[in-house]
Every structure is written in C-alpha cells, then in structure tokens.
Amino acid sequence: MSAVMEAATVGPPVLIACSHGTRSAAGRTTIAALIAQAARELPGVRVEHAVVDVERPEISGVVARVAADSPVVVVPLLLSPGHHTRVDIGAACAPYPQATAAPALGPHPELVDVLTSRLAALPGGDAGFRPGDHVLLAAAGSTDPASARAVERMRDLLQAELPAPITLGYGAGVRPRLPEAVAAARAAGARRVVAVSYVLAPGHFAGLVQRSGADLVSAPLGADPAVASVVVARYREMTTAIT
C-alpha cells in the first residue's frame, strides 16, 4: 500500500500544536483558547497540545505516542524559528518518518493585521500616531540568527502599514534588549515610544515588554482568530506537502 493510501486509511494527520510552555495561568488559558480556535477550523482533525519547556506534556513524548499509529504534523505555536523549532521539535520528529514539523507562525501577513489591531486598541487608536512617535516591535529573542531574520522581516511587513518608524527590541538572546531599544529611541528623538508586543500570550516575555519603559504597551497577539488561521494554514501547507 502506498504512503498516500496509508494516510487515507488512518485519516488526516494529527495536528500537534506545540507551544513554549508557561507558568502564567493567563498564558495557559490563552494558548488553550488558541488551540480550540484552530481545532474548530479543522473538523475531523485530531488536535493535541505539547510544550517544549516549563509544562507537560513534553513534545518528544507526545510525538512518540501519536506517531505510533498516525501521521503527525507539529505546528509550533512560536512566532519565530530558533532553538525550540530546530532542536526540540526537530529532534522529536526525527525518529518518525510519519512526523513532520511546520514552520514557525511568523513572519506572516495575517500577524501584521493582529499587530495593527493591538496598536489600534491603545489610547488614541490607529489614528492617534503623533509626530515624534516611535514604534518598538518587541520580540522574545533567540541566539539563532534565523530568528532575528524572521523578526526583521516581520518589522518590514509592519512598517509598510504604519506611519511611525519601527525598530526592534528583544527580551533575550540578542541585542538590543527591550530597555536598551526604548532608550535608543528616546535618544534618537522619539517623544513617545509605543511597544507592540510580538509575543503570543501573557507570561515571562510579555512581562518584559510591560517593564521595558515604553510609554504605551500593546497586548500580546493572544487567541485572535487571525492567529488561529495561521496555525491552520501551517498545518494545511504541511499536510499538502506530505500527501
């Protein structure tokens, strides 16, 4: 029996939505809501959750269990590539020919729409940009150069939609760190620094953005329907590729 026929026999690949993991109760609730949103867009697809750190169930164990009798697509609930996508998720999938990993969620045009909506929800709204405003795209950060390139691409996509200049700041892994980026914007003449949180959910990195010293800080992307649509798109892209 061909691989395609075998896949048809056992049904569509299982979607394993793999998040970072967090100690934040609000963050866990947000991730659960995001996964539920994606599952509603994929009727008939079995959806499981796994994490790479902090929580359980850990990704390697979930892949091993599910891939024993089903094809698997792991979709990282992570905004940029890095150690967790390349090493943790990659190593979890490597022993199983029927398990494959999708790219990280970003960069993606639909995430630009979510970021602009988060900015519009701040005091003054999207028509409230003033002369001297400066936007900081605030990302988690990673030592992996691919992560920085992905965030830079996201900045370029967002810049096309905003009248204010945008620079980058990171919570970890690479510089400038968030307070440094805020200080640099002020030193360059910014009258108001607006940090847009390029993080998925409440937790450690969202807290770093809040404490960055920016004048305004947006909410994380959260369980927005557009984010769920990107999860679904990543799953469908990989399902098409393996069938």
pLDDT of residue 124: 63
Residues 84 and 102: their CA atoms lie apart, in Å, by: 13
pLDDT of residue 200: 97
- pTM passes above 0.85: yes
At 125 the pLDDT is 54
Name the nearest CA neighbour of 233 among 50, 63, 51, 104: 104
* One-letter-per-residue 3-state SS of the chain: CCHHHHHHHHCCCEEEEEECCCCCHHHHHHHHHHHHHHHHCCCCCCEEEEECCCCCCEHHHHHHHHHCCCCEEEEECCCCCCHHHHHHHHHHHCCCCCEEECCCCCCCHHHHHHHHHHHHCCCCCCCCCCCCEEEEEEECCCCCHHHHHHHHHHHHHHHCCCCCCEEEEECCCCCCEHHHHHHHHHHCCCCEEEEEEECCCCCHHHHHHHCCCCCEECCCCCCCHHHHHHHHHHHHHHHHHHC
Q: Where in the chain is the domain with CATH 3.40.50.1400?
A: 3-104+224-242, 109-217
CA 164 – CA 74 distance, rounded (Å)? 36
Assigned architecture for domain 3-104+224-242: 3-Layer(aba) Sandwich (3.40)
Q: Which fold has domain 109-217?
A: Rossmann fold (3.40.50)
Q: What is the mean pLDDT of each run of 10 residues along the chain (243 residues)?
A: 43 96 96 98 98 93 96 97 91 96 97 95 71 95 94 97 96 96 97 96 97 97 98 96 72
pLDDT in the model for residue 73: 98
Give the C-alpha separation, 69 to 1, whole Å: 16
pLDDT of residue 83: 87
Q: In this structure, are residues 122 and 154 in contact, taking their beta carbons and an 8 Å threshold?
A: no
Work out whether strand 72-76 and strand 216-217 pair parallel, antiparallel, or are unpaired.
Answer: unpaired
In the chain, the amino acid numbered 121 is A
CB 158 within 8 A of CB 137: yes
Residue 10: the pLDDT is: 63
Residue 211's pLDDT is: 98
Nearest residue to 73 (alpha-carbon basis) of 41, 106, 57, 50:
50
Which residues neighbour 224 within 8 Å (Cβ) at sequence distance 6 or greater? Answer: 114, 117
Cα angle value 198/202/208 (rounded, 5°):
65
